[in-house]
A and B are shown apart, each in its own frame.
Chain A
Amino acid sequence: NAGVTQTPKFQVLKTGQSMTLQCAQDMNHNSMYWYRQDPGMGLRLIYYSASEGTTDKGEVPNGYNVSRLNKREFSLRLESAAPSQTSVYFCASSEGTHIEAFFGQGTRLTVV
């Protein structure tokens, strides 16, 4: 039982490059989330998926797209990376709302 797994753990991109961060959970959770964590800013919600087939914008969605590929997987795509997107990205999942959310180990992304 791996919980929430993110790939890659580390990534360096050049400005303008694109990439997809992968997230998968094996807990049969309905809801999944993408957060970014910057010093002093806490965990800010980028996008979330309350259930398979739905996605919604969070607090900071600009520059990102998401895909809820199936119930297990929720990917985050940067189409044209910018230095402002340098951050640690966390994926999380929960069985539903108003219940514990479990986090992946994070992806440290640097855009140069």
Chain B
Amino acid sequence: GENVEQHPSTLSVQEGDSAVIKCTYSDSASNYFPWYKQELGKRPQLIIDIRSNVGEKKDQRIAVTLNKTAKHFSLHITETQPEDSAVYFCAAWGSQGNLIFGKGTKLSVKP
């Protein structure tokens, strides 16, 4: 079945530095890749997504890149701020209509 691997599991950066989180997926039929942010005690919320017909998408300090051949996609956060501290999840849709998540990355941004 569909599998999504996410690395690293924890990431600590200084405020102002960049953070990169990487994911790989297994189902070649996947064509939509969302990223969710979950603050402590809250629900996951979509922050950015990318479809397989583009290689990169940006939204202010956040960008996502996709390499469909290698089945890799990555989240890039520039100029990190303390409010970026949260758990980030990548996900991919399986061919059965199921949405599969990676295990998450806990990002800590130190002031």
A56 with B98: CB separation less than 8 A: yes
The smallest C-beta distance from B38 to any residue of chain A, in angstroms, reads: 9
Q: Identify which of A43, A50, A58 contacts B44 (C-beta below 8 A).
A: A43
Chain A's closest residue to B29 (CB) is A98
- Cβ A90 vs Cβ B43 within 8 A: yes
A45 and B102 contact, Cβ closer than 8 Å, known pairs A90-B44, A103-B45: no
Q: Which of A40, A43, A58 has most B Cβ within 10 Å?
A: A43
Give the one of B32, B42, B46, B97 with max A CB within 10 A: B97
Question: CA separation between A34 and B55, bound complex, in Å?
Answer: 31
Chain A 57-112 interface residues, beta-carbon cutoff 8 Å to B = 58-59, 90, 92, 94, 97-101, 103-106
What distance in Å separates the Cβ of B77 from its nearest Cβ neighbour in chain A?
19
Q: Hey, which chain B residues are within 8 Å of A90, CB to CB?
A: 43-44
Please, which residues of chain A bring their CB within 8 A of the CB of B31? Answer: 98
Instruction: Please tell me if the beta carbons of B97 and A50 are within 8 angstroms of each other in the complex.
Output: yes
For chain B, residues 17 to 40, give those with C-beta under 8 angstroms from any C-beta of chain A.
Answer: 31-32, 34
A4-54 contacts to B (CB < 8 Å): 31, 33, 35, 40-45, 48, 50
Task: Using CB atoms and an 8 Å cutoff, list the residues of chain B in contact with chain A.
Answer: 1, 6, 9, 31-32, 34, 42-46, 49, 51, 89, 93, 96-104
| A interface residues (Cβ-Cβ under 8 A, vs B) | 31, 33, 35, 40-45, 48, 50, 56, 58-59, 90, 92, 94, 97-101, 103-106
A selection of 21 A-B contacts at a CB cut-off of 8 Å is A31-B97, A42-B102, A42-B103, A42-B104, A43-B44, A43-B101, A43-B104, A45-B101, A48-B99, A58-B98, A90-B43, A90-B44, A92-B99, A97-B97, A97-B99, A98-B31, A99-B32, A101-B34, A101-B99, A104-B43, A106-B43
